[in-house]
Amino acid sequence: MNNFPFLILLLLIPLAGSILVGYLGRDRSNETLAKQTALATAVLEFVVAIIMLIAYKPDGPRLQFTTSFGWIDSLGVKFSVGVDGIAIVMIGLVGLLVPIVMIASWHRDSLGDDTNEPGSEDEIAPPKGSVSRMFAWILLLEVFMVGVFAATDVFLFYVLFEVMLVPMYFIIGAYGSAKRRAAAMKFFIYSLVGGLVMLASVIGLYVISRQQLGNATFSWDALRQLDLSHTQQMWLFLGFFVAFAIKAPLVPFHTWLPKAGAEAPIAGGLLLIGILDKVGTFGFLRYCLPLFPWASQKIAPLVLVLAVIGIFYASFQAIGEKDIKRFVTYTSIAHFGFIALGIFAFTTTAGVGAVLYMVNHGIATGLLFLIVGMVIRRGGSRNIADYGGLFRVAPILSGLFLLASLAALALPGTNSFVSEFLVLIGAYATVPVFTIIASVGIVFSAIYALWIFQRAATGPESALVVARKKVFGDLNKREIGVLTPLVILIFAIGIYPKPVLDIITPSVEATLQIDVGVHDPAPTIAKPAALSINGGAK
C-alpha cells in the first residue's frame, strides 16, 4: 500500500469537509447537520490516518507514501508530500485530537469560558459565533496541520507554515474569551514575523541550489545534498531556528503563548498547545539538523541553555499562576524545554524520547486542558483561588484531574514518564551537566502539578463551588467519551510504548547518523527486526 495516496486523501477529506460545513453553517437551521458533518469528516480522517499508520513500514524507505506533481514549475516548486516515522506519528496525533475537540465543543457554552484574566476588566463581550463555523475553521486548520508535517518541498512547507495561522487566528479571535482579539493578534504577529525570517533562509537555499546543482530546487531531499560553507550554514540555520523557536515556543520567544492559550476557546487552546507548538520542534528535526548539521551542533549549547532556563522559568511561573488556563500554557513551555534538550543532545535515545515526548505531551496536556475547560464551564471562573473541594461535588472529574496532573509530572506508568526518561538517559551521555540541571526541574514539575490539584480539588468547598453546586455535577456521558481515549493512551503508551518507538526510531537514527553524522555513545533502543533506513543515504 506504499503507493496509495494516503496523504492526498488526508488533505482532501478535511478540505472538502470544511467547505461543506461552512456552507451548511450559513443557515442556523442546519446547525446540527453541519456539526454532524464536521464530526463525521474528522472521524473519517482519523480512520484513514490509522490505516496509514498500520501500512507504514518502519524497516522500509525513509520517506513513504510519497506523492509529487508540478506546482510552480518556473521556480522549481513542487507539491511534494511524504512521511517518515516522525511525521506520521504527528499526523496520527492530529487525527486523534480533532474529533475529540469537536465532541468537547459540541454545545455553544463549551466553546469558551466567557471570563477574563483574574483581577482584570473584560475588554469585549463574550463571543456569539456558531459552533459549526468554528468546526469549519478547525477542519481547514487540520488540512494545514497535516500538510505541514507531510511536506517534502521546503517552499510548500513554508506556505503551509504561514497559512495555518489564519484558521487559528479566527478560532481565537472569534470564539475565545474576553481579550481574545488582542491574544489572536499577538499570536499572528509573532508567528508571521518568525515565518518571514525563515523565508529569507528558504530563498537563500534556493539560490545556492541553483549554483551547486544547476537547477534551482526546493526539494528537501535535494537540499540535503548541498555542500554549504560554515558561514552559509550558520546564517541559513538562524533563519529557520528563529521561526521554529517562536513556534515551539522556547524562552525567550514564548511570550505569545500564555496569552493565546488562555484566551483561546478550549478547542483552539488544545490544538494550539497539542499540535501547532510541535511544528517548531518538528522543524528542528526535519530542517535544521538535516540541512545545517554543522550549525546545529555549534548552536546546540545555546539551545540547551535556553531549554534549561525554560524548564525552570516556566515551572516557577506555573507554581505562582492564578489563571488556570495560563497555568497549563506554562507547564507546556516547561515540557518543551525537555523536548529541545532531547533534540540537541544528538543521541538516538534522547532524540527518540523527544519525538515521543511531542506525542505524549499532546495526549497528556490535551487531557489536562479539556478537564480545565470542564471545570471552568461549571464554575464560570479561571481564577484558581475560586475553586476548592471539587472532589466532594465531582469525584470522577477530580479523579481524572489528578490523573492528568500525575501524567504532567511524568509519574511512572504514564506515557510522559517513558519519553522524559528516554530524553534524560540519552542526553546524559553527551551533555551530562545540562541533563543534571534539567533533572532538578522535575522536582518543580511535581510541585506545580500537585499544587494546582490540591488548590482546586481538595479541602473544604469554596464559596463559588457551594454557590454553583447545582450546576457543577460530575462528568456526563459525552464528557466521559471525550476523555476516555486520552486516558487509555496515557496508560497504553506508559506501559507498552514499543509500537510507537518502533515507528520513530529508524527516522531519528537516519537524521542523526546519516544527516548530522554524529556518533551515538548512548545505549540504543531496541530496534525492529531487519531495521533499514533505505533512501536516507546521501
Give the pairing type, strands 77-83 and 64-72. Answer: antiparallel
By CB neighbour count within 10 A (0-12 exposed, 13-18 middle, 19+ buried), where does 404 fall? buried
Amino acid identity, position 435: T
Whole-number pLDDT of residue 472: 78
Q: Which residues are registered as beta bridge partners of 388?
A: none
pLDDT of res. 530: 41
> How far apart are alpha carbons 340 and 65 in whole angstroms?
28
Rg (CA), the chain: 22
Question: How far apart, in whole angstroms, are the C-alpha atoms of residue 174 and residue 534?
Answer: 47
Per-residue pLDDT, 86:
96
Nearest-10 crossing angle of helices 432-457, 324-343: 160
Which is nearest to 445 in space by CA: 400, 493, 405? 405
* Cβ proximity of 414 and 494 under 8 Å: yes
d(CA 146, CA 12): 11
- H helix or E strand, kind and range, residue 371: helix 348-379
Whether the full predicted model's pTM is greater than 0.85, yes or no, is yes
Q: Tens digit of pLDDT for each residue in 382-433?
A: 888 888 888 888 899 999 999 999 998 889 999 999 999 999 999 999 999 9
Q: Provide the pLDDT for residue 117.
A: 54
Nearest in space to 33 (alpha carbons), one of 112, 165, 135: 135
pLDDT for residue 75: 84
Instruction: Summarize pLDDT for 424-464 with one digit per residue, the tens.
Output: 999 999 999 999 999 998 888 888 888 888 888 887 888 88
Please, which residues have CB within 8 angstroms of residue 432's CB and are 6 or more apart in sequence? none
**How far lies 393's CA from each of 262, 319, 467, in Å?**
25, 25, 12
Identify the segments of the chain with pLDDT beneath 50: 120-126, 522, 524, 528-538
Q: What is the Cα–Cα distance from 182 to 392, expressed in whole angstroms? A: 37
